[in-house]
């Protein structure tokens, strides 16, 4: 009797061209820049069935539901994106594909992570979030210095107050501060810093990375997730990288991760077999140099899903089998 044919693992690409949560225009071009850089081709060559769902259309602005929160710029527009994306994210997670949300600014994570967290709650498995970013994004309307909502996304996901009506009647599937890891942080506002420490959020800033190395610190994240039978969402802001590696962002901060450090992180996450959804955010092609940042981001996604120079036996080989 012949063996059943192996099911080809699926990845769903979804562009989320939102830029209004950030301080500079241009991130709405991010999804198409990633496509041009070959993200779909790389994943296809790794043996995945790649489903490109195109870019989400801009949702119609919902009627105002009372005054918006103070210090939350463009709240009424962003809430329509977040509500629509939360539903799309939930549906993609339910489909069995690994969704990759291509942004767009980091405010999109309030929808993408909420949707996948809702799905994994139904499966009885906790969702953890690894936040690769130069910024903590743990502001609330009460702590923010700018009012830009891309800087409030992590706080919203952890259930912080201030944006309580953002999802309207939708389910808010908060993850809790104990399931968030801020990694590569090198810029944080004073009140934001106080809130992060009060909540006990795990932080690996660039000092810790310099002192201990990314391998040690990422393995600690992986061990925490595995110990609770959890799954991992990777929220990758390209400003996590040093501006010399990735200049195409609107919020550059010197002293970021190197090209090789970033690839090692992705390789270790692949080896863990725990990543079930991904954001790629804040890519601004308008500020890039001949598509360099988009190409680097696409290459890093390749490493996350198994691209390597020599074949190594890893726990995720069985989970994400490759052709050949």
133 is catalytic: yes
Catalytic-role residue among 19, 189, 282, 288: 282
Catalytic-role residue among 160, 189, 239, 242: 239
52 is catalytic: no
Catalytic-role residue among 150, 233, 263, 270: 150
137 is catalytic: yes
135 is catalytic: yes
53 is catalytic: no
Residue among 115, 167, 161, 116 nearest 141 (CA) = 161
**Length of the chain, in residues:** 324
Catalytic-role residue among 160, 189, 192, 237: 237
The CA–CA distances, whole Å, from 192 to 84, 140, 145, 299 equal 28, 8, 9, 32
Tokens of 24: 């500079």
Catalytic-role residue among 19, 105, 137, 261: 137
- Please state, in angstroms and rounded to a whole number, the distance separating the CA atoms of residues 156 and 110: 7
Catalytic-role residue among 133, 192, 261, 279: 133
- Please state, in angstroms and rounded to a whole number, the distance separating the CA atoms of residues 82 and 60: 12
279 is catalytic: no
Query: Cα 167–82–141 angle (5° rounding)?
Result: 70
HEC profile for 40-64?
HHHHHHCCCEEEEEEECCCCCCCCC
237 is catalytic: yes
Catalytic-role residue among 105, 106, 233, 242: 106
The residues carrying an active-site annotation are: 106, 133, 135, 137, 150, 237, 239, 282
């Amino acid at each position: 009797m012949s063996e059943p044919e192996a099911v080809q693992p699926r990845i769903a690409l979804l562009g989320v061209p939102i830029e209004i949560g950030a301080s500079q225009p241009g991130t709405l071009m991010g999804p198409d820049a990633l496509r041009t850089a070959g993200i779909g081709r790389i994943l296809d060559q790794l043996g995945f069935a790649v489903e490109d769902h195109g870019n989400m259309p801009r949702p119609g602005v919902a009627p105002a539901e009372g005054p918006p929160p103070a210090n939350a710029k463009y709240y009424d527009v962003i809430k329509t994106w977040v509500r629509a994306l939360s539903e799309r994210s939930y549906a993609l997670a339910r489909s069995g594909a690994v969704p990759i949300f291509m942004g767009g600014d980091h405010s999109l994570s309030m929808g993408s992570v909420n949707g996948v967290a809702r799905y994994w709650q139904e499966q009885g498995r906790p969702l953890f979030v690894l936040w690769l970013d130069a910024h903590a994004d743990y502001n609330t309307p009460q702590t923010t210095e700018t009012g830009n909502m891309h800087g409030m996304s992590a706080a919203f996901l952890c259930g912080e107050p201030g944006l309580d009506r953002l999802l309207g009647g939708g389910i808010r599937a908060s993850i809790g501060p104990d399931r968030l890891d801020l990694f590569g942080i090198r810029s944080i506002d004073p009140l934001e810093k106080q809130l992060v420490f009060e909540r006990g959020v795990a932080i690996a800033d660039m000092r810790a990375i310099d002192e201990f190395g990314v391998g040690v610190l990422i393995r600690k994240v992986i061990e925490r997730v595995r110990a609770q039978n959890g799954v991992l969402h990777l929220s990758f802001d390209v400003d996590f990288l040093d501006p010399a590696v990735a200049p195409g962002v609107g919020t550059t901060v010197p002293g970021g991760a190197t090209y090789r450090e970033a690839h090692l992180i992705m390789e270790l996450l692949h080896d863990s077999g725990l990543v079930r959804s991904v954001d790629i955010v804040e890519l601004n092609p308008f500020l890039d140099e001949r598509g360099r940042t988009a190409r680097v981001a696409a290459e890093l996604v390749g490493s996350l899903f198994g691209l390597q120079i020599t074949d190594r036996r890893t726990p995720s080989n069985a989970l994400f089998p490759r052709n050949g």
